[in-house]
Amino acid sequence: MKKSRYNQRLFIITIILILVNILSFRYFFRWDITQDKEYTLSPSTVELLASLKDPVTVKAYFSDNVPPDVAKVKRDFKDLLVEYSRRSNGKVVYSFINPNENDTKEQEAMVGGIQPVLINVREKDQMKQQKAYLGAVINLGEKKETIPYMQPGAAMEFALSSAIKKMSIENKPVIGLIQGHGEAGMKDLQQAAAGLLVLNNVEEFEMSDSLQIPNKYTTLAIIDAKDSFPAAHLAQLDAFLAKGKNLFIAYSREKADLQSSMASSRSTGLEDWLKQKNIIIEDQLVIDAQCGSVQVRQQQGYFSFINNISFPYFPIVNNYGNHPAVKGLEQVILQFVSPVNYQGDSSIHYTPLLLSSDRAGTEAAPVYFNIQKQWSNSDFPQSKIVMGAAFSGKLSGSSDARMIIIANGNFAVNGSGEQAMQLPPDNINLLVNSIEWLTDNSGLMDLRTKGVTSRPLAQLEDSERSFYKYANFLLPVAAVVIFGFGRMQWRKRQRVRRTEDDYFSE
C-alpha cells in the first residue's frame, strides 16, 4: 500500500515538473535584482523590437578560450541576443563565429570592421598575449552597422539598440551647431558627434544678419561661444524659440587661463540676452571640495617630478536633478563653471540639472589661482549650487519651447588636431542626452548611461569615518563576548537543573 502511494506521488511530481518546463518555455520570466537593471530590456528597446518590419541579422565575432572576465562578455551578449530574438518574435536572428578558427573567418571579421585586440592570457604559469575578437556586425536589409569592440562593463543594450535604431529610422531631426562667434564645431566635438549622429543629422550653421535660421532645424546648439553676438543674431534666436523650437547653450561666463593663473569676466551678449528671460549666469566661479586635479611640476633638490594637486575650480558633479537629461549619469567633470539662477515666475518650468556637493562656494571675478593654497572647510560654506538647468515654457513669444543651459562652455569639447583629448564618458552623455531631450528623441537616453562608468565612494566626515572604523573593529568582538556570556549562563542553568530532584534525561 505504501509503495503504491509513493508511486502515485512520484508520478504527480513528474507530471508537475513536465508542465512547469512546458510553461517556462512558452512564458519567460526573469527577476532582475541588479541596481541598474542590467538584465532587463528598457521600454524603448522593447518598443523598437516590436516595431521591426524586416529581419535583423547579427553576426557576433567572439574568440573562444579567453580569460573568464572576457568570456563573460560573450555570455552576456548571447543572453542579450536571446532576449532580443524573443521580444522581436524571431525577427532578430543571430549567430556566433570564432574568428580564431581559421583565416577565412578572421578575414570575414576584419572585412566587417571588427579589429582584434590583444589580451593577456596565462598559460603554463606564463603570461602571453593573445589576439581576440569581441565585436558584431548587424544587418537590416542593405544597411549595415558594426560594433567593433564590446568593452567589458560597457552598455551592451545601448550599443545594440542604437545600431538597430540607426538603420531603421527614416527621417532624422536636424541639429544645427551655431557658428560665427568662436563656437566649437564638428571637428571639436568628435565624441559627442558620434553619439548625436545615431538619431540625428548634425550640421554647422553660420549665423549672419541677412540669413534667417532655416525651419529644418529642430534644435540649435551654442557650444563654447567666445565672441560677441550682434543684436540681430540674438533676435533670430528669439524668433527661433517663438516657433516652439529648442536651444542648448554651453557657455563659460569666465575666461580662465591656467598659464596666467587668473580668470576674468567674459561678455558676449548672451548673458544679457538670458537675463532678459530672468536666467542669470553669475559673474562668479564655483569652487567645490569634491573636485578634479591639475598636474604641477615640482622640484625637490636635483629631482623634478609631476604631482597631482586637487583644484576646487574643477568640480566633480555626482548630484543631479530629477530630469531625463541627467538620468543615470554618475560623474561629470566641469572646469571653471559659474552658478545659474532663475529669478522669474512659475510661467517657466525650471529644473536644476547639475548641483555642487554639500561643501562648495563661489568666488567673484576676477579670480587669481593659487595652486599651492591649503583649502579648509571654511572655504566651502555653500551646498547644492546650481551649475546647469533646464527651462521649458514660453521663453519667447506664445509657443512653448525648451532650453538647457550649462554654465561651462567646453565640458564636452575634445579639441582638434594635436590638442584633441579624450573626455569622461558622462560629459559626453550629458551633452547628447540634453540635445536628445530638447529634440524629443528620448528613446535611447536611459540606455546610454546603463553601463557603470564610475562609482566613487561617498565622502564622509572625519567623525563618521572614525565611527565606522571603530564599529567594524569592536562590533565583532562584542558579538563574540555576548555570545560567550550567553552560552556560559545557559550552561550554568543546565548544571543547576541537573542537581534538582525532579530532573531526568530522556
Closest CA to 389 of 435, 339, 427, 426: 339
Closest CA to 380 of 263, 253, 286, 461: 286
pLDDT of residue 39: 63
Which residues make beta-bridge pairs with 279? 342
Give the Cβ contact number of residue 357 at 10 Å. Answer: 20
Q: For residue 444, what is its C-alpha cell? A: 535611447
Residue type, 351: T
- Give the ranges where 276-381 is alpha helix by DSSP (H): none
Residue 497 makes CB contacts below 8 A (sequence gap 6+) with: 503
Residue type, 132: A
pLDDT of residue 205: 95
pLDDT of residue 36: 58
pLDDT of residue 502: 64
CA-to-CA distance for 116 and 465, rounded, in angstroms?
45
Q: Give the chain's residues under pLDDT 50.
A: 506
Which residues make beta-bridge pairs with 320? 354
pLDDT of residue 275: 95
Residue with cell 565575432: 61
CA-to-CA distance for 23 and 17, rounded, in angstroms?
10
CA-to-CA distance for 136 and 95, rounded, in angstroms?
10
pLDDT of residue 30: 60
CATH architecture of the domain formed by 174-448: 3-Layer(aba) Sandwich (3.40)
Give the Cβ contact number of residue 34 at 10 Å. Answer: 8
Which CATH superfamily hosts domain 36-166? Answer: Glutaredoxin (3.40.30.10)
